[in-house]
A and B are shown apart, each in its own frame.
Chain A
Amino acid sequence: METRALALALCLALACSSDDKPADDIAADAGTDQAVDPQEAAASQHPNLQWKRFAAFETDLAQALALEPDKLCKEFGLESCTRVVHLAPLGGHEPFKTGLLEPSAEPLATTPSVVDRIVLSACSSRAGKDREAGKMAVVFRAIDLTKAAPEPGSAENKAVVTELYRRFLARDPDAFELSRVGTLAHDEAGKAVQGDAFAALACFAVATSTEFLFF
């Protein structure tokens, strides 16, 4: 615990996240001592949950994956998914040319698929960049993305999940979450997927969680 606290203090002092740490250290830092089954946690009783709309969604996604906002997703490689093509489903509005003076009060029918499309694009983009970068990878530094994904429960597997939780949700995952997201290292037949596929899937899982998309 002292090691963990020290690491955290140093990290904060340097205003860093989990940069430049080996996988074992990252996993050890994570708050894995508490498991929370979402089914057992009481739900909010107030109508206060807010939908994270296009600008914050784009900024958070770009910040978490260390991508330029305009590189997250472009339809046909031309127009921004968040700022132009799918602006309204993402809770934005454009008054000047479309006459849309207010954003939609509620998510639209296409909102879930648009969110999926953008997140998948962004996660795949980061996994691809990190695979090409090798040891200079930015987000998925704990594993070799060109090889089989690390086994669920392994330090490398936990390190990937922990990194994603810190980047997207600004907290450490608990044991339940480490276990659940870590299983994405295997396909339905129980066979290990490739590292970059695990990275993209785990990224997609965390970035489409209600905790990331609502506040």
Chain B
Amino acid sequence: MSLPDLLQKRGAFWVFGACALASAAAPSVARAMPTAPAIVCATYPELPDCQGQLPDCANCHTSIDPPRWNAFGESLRAMRSESDPFETWLPKALRAVAALDADGDGVSNLEELEQGTSPGDEQSVSTDEMTGPLENPRYDLAGYDAPFAFRRMSILYCGRSPSYAEMQAFTKAPADAAALKTRLHAALTKCLDGAAWQRDILPRLADKRIRPLYAAGPDSDVLISGSLRLVIGDYNYDYRLWRHALSGDRDARELLTAQYHLEEKADGTLVKVEGTIAPNLPNALTSGQPLDVAHRAGMITTQWFLSINTMFSALPRTSAAHAYRSYLGADISMSEGLRPVAGEPLDIDEKGVAQERCAVCHSTLDPLSYAFAEYDGLGDNPQLYGTFRPERPAELIPGWSPEAQKSVLLGKPVASVVEWAEVAVASDEFKRNLADIFFQHALGRSATGAEQEEFAALWQALPADGYSANKLIHRLVDTDAFGRP
């Protein structure tokens, strides 16, 4: 059996296996409803969980497969109506239980949703209230502590702590809030322009999005067919675009809209390369960037992205799901970002995903994926890896019809991956995810419910800031979450 055959069968096994497992474990009638998060947001559009995202299933569920509910979910289920469809009774039930306290933690269900805590989990509480003593001679525990923020900023963005002399200079008179803020941002600007941030720290934030693999990357030493190296793409192009788009006050939307590539000069500067790039690595199975310019969409159409994610899939669900996860912050495997499309999944490749348990996610995932089917992943011809071939889906999927397989992203029809990217970068989800990347890097976690207001202000300022990641970080450093010890 050839490598392509083996991997193709492995992919099919996982789809079928997951569905079979779900079916075997399915209780008789109870089921999770993928439309529920959107209904919650339609009922309460101002909730923090509805700003550039959808609420987590864990607000109601302890498990979605098989479906089980927490105290809040059970309180809603107790009000369900056999005669009303789900879309009708859920909003009524949400309003009916709003003033109740399902988990008994002393905070009403609606207040918990408004605070971003879980109404069905008594351990989920707001951490904003300061109840204990705040006297600390070294830190300002009650407010924004500028020296503390300066040290944190230096470690995060310069990669080192400030020296004694630097700290003395930072706190010297006049040390009023305005003076300290000016010094803090001046130092931050230097850090963001520095090598530590741009070459060492920032690229590491891309790792889980690029998913590099040495054995199949540009430096691979795995030999096939004699002296040919197993190179299925060069992820250095991906890292360079990431660094470029997220530094120097450039427009971060170019992560998904760039139709250029970047080469690195000896001094580390990046230079744009227009057009296709011919194979440029010695003894490599493939390399360069063969995709024509018109069909490029930044990080999600590089040769590496398409090779490592699409691989041998006829319908590249992994590519679409990974793009959705990486740049819109919704991990479908965690039941996030479910926006079912009516009539989906069509199960065009006969993987069994139309079964009810599979359809929970695939009614969102499959319409996300159709546009990616026109791009080659791996196959018999390495010259085609990462290229655009509109005939590809029909070649690989009997019954494929462009009229029936229409891509939908965030409820909007998209005719191509390029349009997919345009809808993505115009969304709140993109902005919110971008802010979350840097918030998580700074604080090791996403914003808490109590921090949602200042977090929302961060990503909502992106259009006014020209989608500059640097400006986003400057705003982040000013938040209480960053500067309050």
Bound form: Cα–Cα A63–B160 in Å = 9
B163 adjacent to A63 (CB under 8 Å): yes
A189 beta carbon closer than 8 Å to chain B: no
Given the known inter-chain contacts A42-B132, A101-B208, A166-B164, please indicate yes or no for A55 contacting B444, CB distance below 8 A. Answer: no
A56 adjacent to B168 (CB under 8 Å): no
Which residues of A have CB within 8 Å of B152? 50, 215
Chain B residues within 8 Å of A, Cβ to Cβ: 127, 130-139, 141, 151-152, 155, 159-169, 172, 200-201, 204, 207-208, 210-215, 217, 442-445, 448, 481-482, 484-485
Of the candidates B132, B201, B208, B217, the one whose C-beta lies within 8 Å of that of A102 is: B208
- Report the interface size for chain A: residues with CB under 8 A from the other chain: 38
Of the candidates B131, B172, B444, the one whose C-beta lies within 8 Å of that of A12 is: B172
Q: How many A-B residue pairs have CB under 8 A?
A: 107
A46 adjacent to B484 (CB under 8 Å): yes
- Of all chain A residues, the one with the shortest Cβ separation from B134 is A42
Bound form: Cα–Cα A42–B139 in Å = 9
A78 beta carbon closer than 8 Å to chain B: no
User: Which A residues from 167 to 213 make CB contacts under 8 A with B?
Assistant: 167, 170-171
* A43 CB, nearest partner CB in chain B, Å: 8
B207 adjacent to A95 (CB under 8 Å): yes
- Of all chain B residues, the one with the shortest Cβ separation from A46 is B484
Which residues of B have CB within 8 Å of A93? 204, 207
B160 adjacent to A170 (CB under 8 Å): no
* A11 CB, nearest partner CB in chain B, Å: 7
Bound form: Cα–Cα A17–B162 in Å = 12
Which residues of A have CB within 8 Å of B217? 96
Bound form: Cα–Cα A99–B213 in Å = 7
Sample of 24 A–B contacts (CB below 8 Å)? A11-B168, A34-B137, A36-B137, A41-B135, A42-B135, A42-B136, A43-B136, A45-B131, A46-B127, A46-B481, A47-B445, A48-B484, A50-B155, A50-B442, A55-B200, A55-B201, A60-B160, A63-B161, A95-B208, A96-B212, A96-B213, A97-B214, A170-B162, A215-B152
Interface of B, helix, strand, loop or mixed by DSSP: loop
Bound form: Cα–Cα A41–B215 in Å = 52
* B348 CB, nearest partner CB in chain A, Å: 31
Which residues of A have CB within 8 Å of B139? 44
* B249 CB, nearest partner CB in chain A, Å: 25
Of the candidates B136, B161, B200, the one whose C-beta lies within 8 Å of that of A215 is: B161
Of the candidates A16, A36, A42, A44, the one whose C-beta lies within 8 Å of that of B165 is: A16
B165 adjacent to A50 (CB under 8 Å): no
* B99 CB, nearest partner CB in chain A, Å: 29
Bound form: Cα–Cα A52–B151 in Å = 11
Which residues of B have CB within 8 Å of A96? 212-214, 217
* A44 CB, nearest partner CB in chain B, Å: 5
A170 adjacent to B163 (CB under 8 Å): yes
Bound form: Cα–Cα A8–B485 in Å = 27
Given the known inter-chain contacts A44-B139, A95-B211, A99-B213, please indicate yes or no for A15 contacting B155, CB distance below 8 A. Answer: no
Which residues of B have CB within 8 Å of A167? 164
* B408 CB, nearest partner CB in chain A, Å: 29
Of the candidates A44, A63, A99, A170, the one whose C-beta lies within 8 Å of that of B141 is: A44
B163 adjacent to A42 (CB under 8 Å): no
Q: Given A55-B200, A55-B201, A97-B214, list of 15 further CB < 8 A pairs?
A: A18-B164, A41-B137, A43-B132, A44-B139, A45-B131, A46-B127, A47-B448, A50-B152, A50-B442, A52-B161, A59-B160, A60-B155, A60-B161, A93-B207, A95-B210
